[in-house]
Every structure is written in structure tokens, then in C-alpha cells.
Amino acid sequence: MAKIIQSIRGMHDILPDQSAAWQYLEGTIRTLFTQYGYRELRTPVLESTELFCRSIGEVTDIVEKEMYTFEDRNGDSLTLRPECTASCVRAGIQNGLLYNQQQRIWYIGPMFRHERPQKGRYRQFYQAGIETYGIPGPDIDAEVVAISARLWRLLGLRNVELQINSLGSSEARAAYRDILVAYLTEHEAQLDEDSKRRMLSNPLRVLDSKNPDLAELIEAAPKLLDHLDDESKQHFERFQQLLTDMGIPFVVNTRLVRGLDYYSRTVFEWVTTELGTQGTICAGGRYDGLVEQLGGKPTAGLGFAMGLERILLLLEEQSIEIPSLAPHAYLLMQGDAAEREGLKLAETLRDNVSGLRIMSNCASASFKSQMKRADKSGAQYAIILGDNEINEGVVSLKPLNGGEQQQLSQDALIEHLTHIVSTENNNG
């Protein structure tokens, strides 16, 4: 037998049994973003490697060790996108979407990072996100947080905590950097190798370390929030005020610096304790310097990205029910005349019952095996068409959860199915 080829480690098939949950989540997200007036931007999954080096920053986990980078046949260095913010900015500059105007953008799609695969951490994973341009905030900062908060409500997710922080202006950060380096130098002996290196190249990232041995040291470090410039301070206060006004609870986490280099002022994460160390389901912030860094005119930017696998894991963890996409009805056909009529009948039903999901039996089989297929399809009803039904001009409808079978005219069947579909829609 030929050798079976496996998918790549950390990259998973989304199987038919799982895809209803994905469609539900993605559909909810698309509708939600559209409700706020955001429009979709689709960018290629491959970009020039330089785009990510220049935006995300050389001294980050992503650029240092997580990117899928290779040379194509022309010898150009390409990278599978590890995130989408850089791509959105690139597309915005290239297509003249950013200068002197406002944009509210969303995206959804796969991202690629060469990380150690584990629950909630994969090498291909999906993000849905929002990016806004030309709006300096803090009103828009509060709006994008409200969008994410609304998503958790729509999905029925519980126990996700909003953590916020401000990284200030780049000047304030530069001044704080010196204070932090002085503190870290004083405690250098306690630092791990990564942190020692980062202390020199990008000391703020030490605060982002996931090494539990450093937790105490980081907790005691001087806080950026105590060294903010006045404008950033006002921005942060107004942002908090707007969240409070909208009834969105939050906590200030002074250690929140985010893994990427390009953030300024507002940063935030939605965190749960129910997914172990992969507890951040959504993360974002303001990146007013990024557009210029990538060659555009200075333009305010702000966005977030959510990890769809982690949201789905949390839905499962909290036993939240996902609307079914199984057929409402499975059509059984018995005998030659019924097999001729059946496909036509199913088409008529689809024409007349909007939203109906009906599956026709294909490949003739005994009544018993057709019933098995009907059960396996997850349908709520079997519609039966046999010689009797054909002769009498009726169909039989049998609830598959054990109710009574009844004979109906085609019109009555249409009415019945319309009722079934509309009750489902009202409940869901």
C-alpha cells in the first residue's frame, strides 16, 4: 500500500463535524463587524519578509523564531503572514486608503507561526480582526473594545476579563526605557538568557516574559503607567471613562505591553483563566507610528485580533450550544416511481420553504438502511416516498426522535416544514 501522507504538525483539518461551529462563529463575527460599519479587507497570505521585519520588530518572538520564511523560485524572501496588521497597513498605503481619511476595516483568515503546538496554540491558526485608520481616539479605542465585548455577549461566553494599559507616547516610552534598564541591570543576575538579551535590544519586552521565575521581579519593576506623558494620560483616562459609561468592566494591568513592537498608548487583552496558559482570546491596541514606519504618511492606527480556535475551545469548555446545520429532513425513496419523483419533490420543497435544509437519499437501499442514513445525517424528520404514497398523491412525515408518522399532501408538507424552519430561526 502506498504511504499515507499526513498534514503538517500544528496545522489541522477542520472536519465536517467541526465546521458548523466555525461557520457559526465566523458568521456572528461578520454580521457584528458589519453592524458597526466596518468593511472587509482581504490580503494575500504571502508577503515580502521585509514587511514583517519592519513592522513587528526584529526583537520579537514572531520575527526571531516563529516565521515561515522561504525563498521562492526567483530568490525573493517571502513569509507566510504571522498576523494581519502589517498586511492591512501595506495594502492601505499601496492602494491609497489611509492618507487623510478614516477607514474601519475587518479581516478574517489563517495566520502562520512556527510555535510549539499545544492546546490553543497551533502553527496555522485563524484570526478575525479589526483595524481602524485616521482616528486618533480615545473614542474609537472604546468602540473597538465594545465590539469585542458585544461578541462575547452574543456568543454567551462568560469569565473573560478585559485588561487594559497605556504605553504612552514614544518619547515617554524612551524615557521609561532608561528607568527600566537601570532596574533590570541592578537585578541582572536573576534574569534568564532571553531577558538578558532583550534588556539590551528591547527592554520593555522583558515585562512580557512568560517565565514564571521572573514574575516577582517583573511585578516589582517600575511601571510605565507612572511615567506617561500628559496627553497619553488624558487619552487613557477618557478611554476608561467611555468604557465605564458603556458598562464594560476592565482592570488596569501595568505589565501588559503586548508582544509586538508597534503599539503605542492604548493596549488591551481579553483573558480567560479557563484555557491554561493560552488564555488570551483577543488582543489589540493603538499603533500610531506603524503607517509611517512602513513608508506612509503619519496616520493613527488601532486594531485587535482574536484567536478563533481559542474562542471555540472556550465555547466548548463552557458547554455553549452551537446552532445545528444538520438537515431538517431526510428524504427516503422506495421503488422506481418514488425515485423518479423524489429529487423533483426535494427541489419543490427547496423552492417553497426558505431556509429549509433537506437531503435526498442517493443510491437505492433497503428502507432500513435508508433510515440509518437519515439518522446519521442528524435530520429531525424523515420524509418517506414509496409506492403507496405515489399512488395516493401524498408523502409520509416521520419525526426521527420517536413521534407519530403522518401522511400529508404536498401543500400540507410545505406548510409543516415552513413552520419547523421558522420556529428554529426564532429560537436560534
Taking CB under 6 A as the criterion, the residue among 217, 283, 312, 313 binding ligand ATP is 283
Cα–Cα distances in angstroms (integers) from residue 116 to residues 164, 259, 261, 315, 384, in the given order: 27, 17, 22, 23, 52
Per CB under 6 A, the list member of 259, 335, 378, 399 interacting with ligand ATP is: 259
280 touches ligand ATP by CB under 6 A:
yes
Which residues neighbour 116 within 8 Å (Cβ) at sequence distance 6 or greater?
Answer: none
Of 128, 158, 144, give the one whose Cα is nearest residue 307.
128
Minimum distance between the CB of residue 56 and ligand ATP, rounded to whole angstroms?
Answer: 9
Rounded to a whole number of angstroms, the minimum distance from the CB of residue 120 to ligand ATP is 6
The closest of 266, 256, 257 to 287, measured between CA atoms, is: 266
Whole-number minimum distance, CB 229 to ligand ATP, in Å? Answer: 25
Q: Confirm or reject binding of residue 109 to ligand ATP (CB under 6 A).
A: no
Give the residue, chosen from 38, 63, 81, 83, that forms a contact with ligand ATP under the rule CB under 6 A: 83
Candidate list 310, 328, 357, 398; residue touching ligand ATP; CB under 6 A: 310
**Using the rule CB under 6 A, is 303 a contact of ligand ATP?**
no
Q: Binder to ligand ATP among 38, 125, 133, 152 (CB under 6 A)?
A: 125
Partners of 282 in the β-ladder? 270, 306
Residue type (1 letter), 104: R
3-state helix, strand and coil shares in percent for the chain, rounded to the nearest 5: 45, 20, 35
Considering only 132-140, 182-190, 274-282, 291-299, which stretch makes contact with ligand ATP by CB under 6 A? 274-282
CA atoms within 13 A on the CB side of 130: 29
Assess 305 for contact with ligand ATP (CB under 6 A).
Answer: yes
Asked whether the beta carbons of 169 and 30 are under 8 A apart, the reply is no
Give the nearest distance from C-beta 208 to ligand ATP in angstroms: 8
Of the ranges 90-98, 112-120, 223-231, 392-400, which one interacts with ligand ATP (CB under 6 A)?
A: 112-120
Question: Cβ closer to ligand ATP: 120 or 342?
Answer: 120
Q: Give 286 or 328: the residue with its C-beta nearer to ligand ATP.
A: 286
Q: Binding mask 34-73 vs ligand ATP (x if CB under 6 A, - otherwise)?
A: ----------------------------------------
Exposed/middle/buried for 348, CB within 10 Å: 0-12, 13-18, 19+? Answer: middle
Nearest-angstrom CA–CA distance, 187 and 86: 35
Cell of 297: 504618511
- Bridge partner residues of 264 (DSSP): 286
Question: Which residue, 92 or 284, has its beta carbon nearer to ligand ATP?
Answer: 284
Does residue 110 touch ligand ATP according to CB under 6 A? no
Burial 42-73 (b: 16+ CB within 10 A, else e): ebebebebebbbbbbbeebbbbeebbbeeeee
Helix or strand run (H / E) with residue 235? helix 230-245
Residue among 54, 90, 104, 121 that touches ligand ATP (CB under 6 A): 121
| 205 phi/psi in degrees, rounded to 5 | -65, -20
Q: By rule CB under 6 A, what count of residues binds ligand ATP?
A: 19
- Interacting residues toward ligand ATP by CB under 6 A: 83, 113, 115, 120-122, 125, 127, 259, 278, 280-283, 305-307, 309-310
